[in-house]
């Protein structure tokens, strides 16, 4: 028996024993006096004590912390969310074999769900079945042996409870049309962050247009797939009008190292996930100039102001942008080289063309399309979004990044938080400042 198989059987046994003593009820994970802690005080204290006592060498070697041991202890003491108990083992389909779709399908399988990952390429499916490694998007990470793989779309989605869609925004509408003949009551949850090119449709808009009768939700948050695979504590948000769907997603994906919070602001949660990609490109570009911490902090907070401003104009609650799907996702994406959009911005800042940067990345960077979509929408509606307009000028109008940045710094006086002290400023005046008198490259 191989070491991997033996470890997997030990983990399965430990999980089964722990789940036998765990309350299986679920709930919306909102703040209240009655909310139970994720860990009891003894486990939490011992975990922090263990983390702080490791030596310098151990800190550099992540294997020093046995995540399987921590998960075993914590799972047996973890308070399950209270609420609606799923009627049976949840049957889930995850459409899209990218890094995040793979990570979420693996998490669901580890949690004991009947989880199937659909990948378009038959050869890739065979490779996954043979090696249990997504060699293109998550090389080096072995997937749970209970995770299933499928290339036939009908077989993947039939008789499932929830279908998670994690394909690029450019393929989202087509994917929904392809699964429509096989839907018999399944719920749809979008894992895609972005906007459809030319239509400015968010993924929730596309779901409503293509599958108006379907119960749906969107999921977003600071979720770098590699860190999730490494069992680094993370969290996300499920937004839906359906309380039952929110509970079901929490039940399926909530674990010791991954927590799911709930929201009913679909538009706000989805916009946070889409808009932050713009500013990750800006931050990556700024990093290529070796800017200081003051500059990074200014860029991050002004980005949050733009996101909130655009969100309110689109019908979202501005407070949603203070949560995980807003500032949380913004911070993670703008500060990590694991972020595809950050890496695109960094390559652009170093003088690489957009086409060459996208080719080198080898993955979809949703922010490139989002910049164009949001720039046009903001100009049309008169929403003040100087960073977005500046990025558009650099990427699509071939203007010098440094010159655009200097014009932004000279753009006049404004209030800090306009929801506290309102301030009016027209996009026409802003655009005139950006486009007039720009130095040549």
Tokens (6 digits) for 186: 């399944």
Closest to 420 in 3D by CA, of 305, 297, 248, 277: 305
d(CA 88, CA 157): 17
The vertex-170 CA angle with 96 and 119, nearest 5°, equals: 15
Given 126, 276, 296, 377, which residue is catalytic?
276
Question: 36 φ, ψ to 5°?
Answer: -85, 145
d(CA 10, CA 164): 29
Q: Return the number of other C-beta atoms located less than 10 Å from residue 217's C-beta.
A: 28
d(CA 42, CA 331): 31
d(CA 220, CA 395): 26
**Please, what is the angle between helix 41-53 and helix 67-77, to 10°?**
160
Q: Is 276 a catalytic residue?
A: yes
Phi-psi domain of 362 (left: phi exceeds 0; alpha: psi -120 through 50; beta: other): left
Residues 6+ positions from 343 with CB-CB distance below 8 Å: 284, 337, 361, 365
Task: Classify 188 as helix, strand or coil.
Answer: strand
**DSSP symbols for 101-117:** HHHHHHHHHHTT-EEEE
The vertex-341 CA angle with 246 and 356, nearest 5°, equals: 140
Q: What is the DSSP letter of 195?
A: B
Question: 23 φ, ψ to 5°?
Answer: -70, 125
**Cβ-contact 176, 196 below 8 angstroms:** no
Closest to 90 in 3D by CA, of 68, 112, 62: 112
Tokens (6 digits) for 16: 């089964």
Tokens (6 digits) for 412: 């006049």
Residues annotated as catalytic are 276
């Amino acid at each position: 028996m191989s070491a991997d198989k033996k470890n997997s059987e030990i983990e399965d046994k430990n999980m089964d024993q722990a789940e036998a003593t765990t309350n299986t009820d679920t709930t919306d994970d909102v703040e209240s006096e009655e909310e139970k802690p994720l860990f009891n005080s003894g486990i939490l204290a011992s975990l922090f004590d263990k983390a702080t006592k490791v030596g310098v060498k151990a800190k550099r070697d992540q294997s020093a912390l046995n995540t399987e041991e921590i998960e075993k202890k914590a799972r047996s003491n973890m308070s399950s969310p209270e609420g609606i108990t799923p009627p049976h083992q949840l049957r889930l389909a995850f459409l899209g074999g990218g890094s995040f779709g793979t990570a979420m399908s693996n998490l669901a399988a580890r949690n004991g769900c009947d989880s199937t990952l659909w990948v378009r390429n038959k050869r890739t499916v065979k490779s996954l079945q043979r090696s249990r490694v997504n060699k293109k998007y998550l090389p080096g990470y072995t997937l749970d042996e209970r995770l299933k793989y499928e290339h036939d779309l009908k077989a993947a989605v039939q008789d499932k409870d929830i279908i998670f869609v994690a394909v690029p925004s450019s393929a989202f509408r087509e994917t929904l049309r392809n699964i429509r003949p096989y839907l018999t009551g399944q719920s749809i949850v979008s894992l895609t962050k972005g906007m459809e090119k030319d239509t400015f449709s968010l993924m929730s808009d596309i779901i409503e247009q293509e599958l108006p009768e379907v119960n749906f939700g969107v999921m977003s948050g600071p979720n770098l797939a590699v860190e999730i695979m490494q069992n680094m504590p993370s969290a996300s948000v499920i937004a839906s009008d359906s309380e039952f769907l929110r509970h079901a997603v929490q039940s399926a994906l909530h674990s010791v190292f991954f927590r799911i919070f709930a929201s009913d602001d679909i538009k706000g949660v989805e916009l946070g996930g889409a808009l932050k990609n713009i500013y990750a490109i800006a931050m990556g570009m700024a990093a290529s100039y070796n800017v200081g911490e003051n500059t990074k902090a200014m860029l991050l907070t002004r980005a949050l102001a733009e996101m909130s401003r655009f969100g309110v104009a689109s019908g979202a609650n501005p407070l949603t942008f203070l949560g995980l799907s807003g500032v949380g996702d913004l911070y993670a994406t703008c500060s990590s080289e694991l972020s595809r959009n950050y890496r695109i911005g960094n390559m652009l800042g170093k003088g690489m063309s957009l086409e060459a940067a996208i080719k080198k990345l080898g993955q979809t960077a949703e922010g490139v399309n989002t910049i164009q979509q949001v720039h046009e929408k903001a100009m049309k509606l008169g929403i003040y979004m100087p960073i977005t307009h500046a990025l558009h000028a650099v990427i699509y109008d071939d203007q010098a990044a440094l010159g655009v940045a200097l014009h932004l710094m000279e753009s006049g006086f404004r209030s800090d938080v306009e929801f506290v002290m309102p301030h009016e400023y027209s996009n026409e005046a802003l655009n005139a400042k950006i486009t007039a008198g720009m130095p040549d490259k």
